[in-house]
Amino acid sequence: MAIERPNRRLTTILAADAAGYSRLVGADEEGTLGRLRAIRKDLIDPVIAAHRGRIVQTMGGGLLVAFASVVDAVRPAGETQRAMADNMACLAPDKRS
């Protein structure tokens, strides 16, 4: 009698959060949400897609993303952090996350 094994697959979950999100929303909800939408559309979503990631859940200024491997998760995380630092550099300090 053969033992049936469960079908398993490995997944890497990336958890990301926008620092200062609550403060920014408290100061300017519409502006903050608009900037977040633009950053997701222009930067975050394309980077995730390029590395075969899938957004599992969003919440406020955070999101959970599933990747097939650790390498696929680490590369977009680094790319996104560098791009966000460049993006925030042109904003006034009280508008930065």
- Rounded CA gap, 15 and 5, in Å? 30
d(CA 55, CA 45): 8
Give every strand in the sheet of 54-59, ordered side by side.
12-17, 62-67, 54-59
The pLDDT assigned to 19 comes to 85
What gap in Å lies between CA 44 and CA 23, rounded to an integer? 21
Please give the average per-residue pLDDT across 74-85, as a whole number: 90
Q: pLDDT band at residue 13, thresholds of 50, 70 and 90?
A: very high
The pTM score is 0.79
